[in-house]
Structure formats: structure tokens, C-alpha cells
Amino acid sequence: MLNPVVEGTPFSFLDYKRYSRQLILPEVKVEGQKRLKESRVICIGAGGLASSLLMNLAAVGVGNIGIIDNDYVDISNLQRQIIHNVEYLGLNKAFSAKNHLLLLNPNCKILVYPKKLTTLNALSIIKDYDIVVDCTDNFNTRFLIDETILILNKPLVHGAIFKFEGQISVLNYQGGPTYRDIQTIRTNDIVRDTDCKILGVIGVLPNIIGTIQATEKIILGLGNTLSGRILMYNALSMEFRSLEIRLRNLSAKKINYIQSFSPYTSQLEQDGYRLFSLDELKFFTRIYKRVYLIIDVRNYEDYNQEDNLLCHHIPLMDINKKIILIKNLVTDKYPILRCNNMQKSIIAHKILKKNGINSAILKTKS
């Protein structure tokens, strides 16, 4: 959790020596340093943005750091991904980053996940951390992170780069805007997602943006955050500018809705649920003649009829209000829940289960 209880947190003489320049700050002192030591931060990605971010987190004393990345160190990375070096060419980036961080601060506990973040593992990985840091380079992963932190009610420190430009923001923090809200800003003001292999990036840029990400003081609760704002940096003009992010009503409703169910969604791994692939569903329908009822729980703007499946569209935020209707629909049918990435289906499954309705989930491609 944010601002963890620090009573009883061990603090050694070497800790006093290592962090002495921070300890003399009235805003930090020993209590603040203990909060850093107890905090848990996970970084999604171990490339350019993550390089300076991770080194700064380890250096200032963040005690528990998670790193997830399925890519491997290539010589072309070394122009900007300064956490890696030629000794680790061909090594998974998460492990390479861990090796560097332990040389910098062996007191940090580093947990690595040498895999891709998917709809099947996002909840189980991210649930144990206080703060999530987005150091990825593609829209699909960012939207997955956005969905996951909404379910788990975790703050996100977002960063992105494009050629000579970068952006930073704090999302889903104390009811503030989410990643989807950033898309309401004019497209010319958004750093667009694209592959560095195609359009390139100036080497120092990701390290500037990553350092600013690391500067966010959410753990210590100091000063202002970038929640509600997006900070833009242009390395050519050497200018910073701050843009306000408007919170859309849809996102606000979604945040309130997800938070209202967080007591049992956080226990996801303890609640078994049955998964069907589309092929399995068609097979069982044909062979066993069992009647299934597909309930699509996507939001109105995300819903479209696919696969020629006959289904009832009941958005997730309406499930509670339509329990009686659902019970009537499933008197002689078995409900199968579907959405884009299973996460809304998982929440709907738990709501139905709480109301005495057993259901299964239609698997989606991760």
C-alpha cells in the first residue's frame, strides 16, 4: 500500500551512511527513508525509459523493485538503454537490469519477470506492488496496464517518447485521470507510439523522461504530482510545457465502479473460474447439446457483434442493476461472459457468483 507503516522497519548504520544526504532533508528524515525501504514499485519494461528510472529508484532506497520484460539486450539498445552493457548482450533485459541495480544498491530486493505482460498474468503480477511505472513502447500494453490498475486501484507513473519529444503523467491517482483520458488531448500534443527502429530517437531523451518519472514523490507524499496534468518535453526547443487532462465522465464512473468492488477483485487468484475458448464453446454446444448464454460485458462504445455469436449485451457497470434479469435468462442456460481481454468478464463473474449465479469466461487472445 502507499505510505506503508514503518514502525519496526530495520535501519542500519550503513543505511544512515548511504542515504545521509536525503536524511538531512526535513521532508524526508528517517521516517521517509523507511517508507522508501518498505515501498514496492514495479516497472513495466526494462529499456530506455526504465534505465534511468530504475537506477534512480535503487539509488534513493526503494526497497522492493519488480521488473517485467521479455526482450533481450541488443547492441543497438546501448545508445540509450544505459542500464545495460556489452557484457550482457543476449541476456534478458530484466535480468540485465537486476545485475546492474544490485551493483548499485545490493540492499534492494529485485524481482524479475522475464515475460510479456498479458491479460493472463497482469493481475497476478501487479497486485503485490504499490506503484506501477509504465516504461513500455506500445499502445496495446498501455491499455492493458490501464485496465489492470483500474481493477487493482493502483497509481501509474506514465512515460512515453517520440523522436525528440517526451511526456510524463501520473494516472489513476486519488480518482484522477486514466490513460484513456490522455487520448482526449489534441493528437498533435500527444507523443505518438511508434517503433524506434523505424523513426529513431535521440539517445538521451528516454533518460530525461525516465528520471522525471523517478522524481514523482508519491511514496513520500511530498509536493505536487502530475496527476491531472501531462508534462511535455521537447529536446529540440529545450522547452517544457504542462497540459491539463480533462477527466471524462466515463472514466470517472469506471474508476468509482471498479473501486467499489476492489475488496474481492484483489482476491482473484483465490477464486477459481472456468474458461472456454471459442472452439470449445462451439464443440460443447454441438456435441453435448447444452444451451449456453453469452453475456457481453463490454462498455457501449467498445461493443460490437463478432463471430456471429448470439449474445446479450449487458455492460459491466450495469450488471448489478440487472441481476434479476440475468437470473431469469439463465434458468435453463449456462452463462458465458465475454469482453475484449477477460478482465471485465472476471469482475462480472465475481458479481454473479456473489449473487448465486455460476458462470464461465470466454477466453480471448493475449
Query: What's the CA angle centered on 46, arms 206 and 242, to 5 degrees?
Result: 35
Question: CATH number of the domain at 39-250, please?
Answer: 3.40.50.720
pLDDT band for position 147 (cuts 50, 70, 90) = confident
Cα distance from N-terminal residue to C-terminal residue, the chain: 28
Checking if the pLDDT of 94 tops 70, the result is yes
Note whether 317 and 253 are within 8 A (CB): yes
CA 189 to chain centre: 23
Average pLDDT, integer, range 99-103: 97
Checking if the pLDDT of 251 tops 70, the result is no
Give the pLDDT confidence of 12-61 residue by residue, as tens digits. Answer: 898 999 999 999 999 999 999 999 999 999 999 999 999 999 999 999 99
Highest mean pLDDT among 31-40, 179-188, 345-354: 31-40
Kind of pairing, strands 274-276 and 239-244?
unpaired
H helix or E strand, kind and range, residue 207 = helix 205-215
Highest mean pLDDT among 113-127, 280-294, 333-347: 113-127
Confidence at residue 112, expressed as pLDDT on a 0 to 100 scale: 97
Neighbouring C-alpha atoms within 13 Å toward the C-beta of 330: 23
Q: What's the pTM value of the predicted model, to 2 decimals?
A: 0.67
Name the residue among 88, 92, 87 with its Cα closest to residue 68: 92
Average pLDDT, integer, range 63-74: 96
Lowest average pLDDT, out of 4-13, 171-180, 338-347, 351-360, goes to 4-13
Would you call 222 helix, strand, or coil by DSSP?
A: coil
Q: Which CATH number fits domain 273-362: 3.40.800.10, 3.40.50.720, 3.40.250.10, 3.40.50.10780?
A: 3.40.250.10
**DSSP code, position 172:** S
Give the pLDDT confidence of 281-323 residue by residue, as tens digits. Answer: 776 666 545 677 889 998 877 777 665 566 888 998 889 889 9
Confidence at residue 286, expressed as pLDDT on a 0 to 100 scale: 60
Lowest average pLDDT, out of 42-46, 122-126, 247-251, 274-278, goes to 247-251
Confidence at residue 358, expressed as pLDDT on a 0 to 100 scale: 86
Confidence at residue 305, expressed as pLDDT on a 0 to 100 scale: 61
Neighbouring C-alpha atoms within 13 Å toward the C-beta of 362: 22
Confidence at residue 270, expressed as pLDDT on a 0 to 100 scale: 40
Which sequence spans correspond to the domains of the chain? Answer: 39-250, 273-362
Would you call 44 helix, strand, or coil by DSSP?
A: strand
pLDDT band for position 260 (cuts 50, 70, 90) = very low
pLDDT band for position 82 (cuts 50, 70, 90) = very high
Checking if the pLDDT of 250 tops 60, the result is no
Q: What is the per-residue DSSP string for 246-303?
A: P--HHHHHHHHHHHHTHHHHTTGGGS--EEE-HHHHHHHHHHS---EEEEE---GGG-
Checking if the pLDDT of 103 tops 90, the result is yes
Average pLDDT, integer, range 138-146: 85
Checking if the pLDDT of 95 tops 90, the result is yes
Would you call 327 helix, strand, or coil by DSSP?
A: helix
Confidence at residue 269, expressed as pLDDT on a 0 to 100 scale: 35
Lowest average pLDDT, out of 63-67, 217-221, 261-265, 320-324, goes to 261-265
- Cell numbers placing 184: 482526449
| Mean of all residue pLDDT scores within the chain | 82
Confidence at residue 256, expressed as pLDDT on a 0 to 100 scale: 44
CA 266 to chain centre: 14
Percent of the chain with pLDDT over 70: 80
